A = this chain, B = another copy of it.
Amino acid sequence: MHTILTGDRPTGPLHLGHYVGSLRNRVRLQSEHRQFVMIADLQGLTDTEPAKVRRNVLEVAFDNLAVGLDPSRSTLFIQSQLPELAELTLYFLNLVSLARLERNPTVKEEMRQRGFERDVPVGFLAYPVSQAADIAAFKATLVPVGADQQPMIEQTNEIVRRFNALTGSNVLVECAALIPQQGRLPGLDGGAKMGKSLGNALALGASPDEIRAAVKRMYTDRNHLRVQDPGQVEGNVVFAYLDAFDPDTTGVAEMKAHYRRGGLADTVVKRRLEELLLEQLAPIRARRELLARDADRVREILREGCDRARTVAAQTLREVRQALGLEYFR
């Protein structure tokens, strides 16, 4: 049994990309492992205004619970409610050089996307350190991440090793990345990444009309003009979604073969996907609406989750302080 730390930034409602990339897996993982699911509001604050972060904390909780996260199996909590995480981040900042942070390829790419140069807020540049603290505070051994997030895990383990070496202790443990077999879901427009701000996302709580509209605008093979012509499956968004949502993998393989040799209309493939999405998202949407009507109950779940998570992080921090020689009064 592993200890897992995973989570989401509450900077917008979650979408199908999150669902396929992580939320769906959490439901599976919670029955086999000890799973902590963090609503990363502090991380949200590194590049998003406070009011927006606050607004989305409950939304992200609804999303997680709606897909089947079971609060009696997974611990769902809010990052900012555990000051231990901030404290550990501060200790970790002494163990990382500026050059090392600037070399982190994930941070580099995200800075480029946001147009940050030297005017990058230090909190943003340092968020891998904050992430390392989150992971280390739970002594997580398994961290689900996208393939592009692998450098974050390496950085975490570097810090963990450095801390243990500095203090001559074995307080902290290293973790491994858990990279999902299912690759990243492309945006509706074929963009590599789905994102609300990119305008190519379908929200997890989408209505049937929104689902239909999304499938309609979804990119296929732009050269597949006549039904009888051979079509391309690679880079074809509709097939990428079928791979992610159709449980009938044989059927999908057959459709792909048919599409490749010609004679399969885009509309037919899209109809299949539309059915699947409507069917799979309907119960999520229904549960989400129920949860939203009972926000107090969700707040109670979060409060209990925070208490449980805090107990674990507080124990690690006692050990960390002891190792650093900061326990003066016992």
Contact = CB atoms under 8 A, between A and B. Distances in A.
Contacts of A252: none
Nearest to A101: B122
Given A81-B328, A90-B86, A325-B50, A129 B118 contact: no
Name the residue among A93, A299, A324 with the largest chain B CB count within 10 angstroms: A93
Contacts of A96: 121-123
A307 B96 CA distance: 31
Interface string A26-47: 0000000000000001100110
A87 interface: yes
Interface residues of A, number: 53
Contacts of A45: 91, 94, 324
A124 B302 contact: no
A281 to B, nearest CB: 28
Interface string A46-59: 10011101100100
A325 B54 contact: yes
Interface string A75-118: 00010110110110111011111110110000000000000001
Interface residue SS majority, chain A:
helix
A303 B325 contact: no
Given A86-B89, A89-B90, A328 B78 contact: yes
B325 A51 contact: yes
A35 B125 CA distance: 35
Nearest to A122: B93
Nearest to A95: B121
A240 B199 CA distance: 69
Contacts of A209: none
Given A91-B45, A326-B41, A326-B54, A99 B121 contact: no
A126 interface: yes
Closest A-B pairs by Cβ, 9 of them: A54-B325, A94-B123, A93-B123, A99-B118, A86-B87, A86-B90, A97-B119, A93-B122, A80-B326
7 contacts: A42-B90, A50-B167, A90-B130, A98-B98, A98-B119, A122-B125, A122-B126
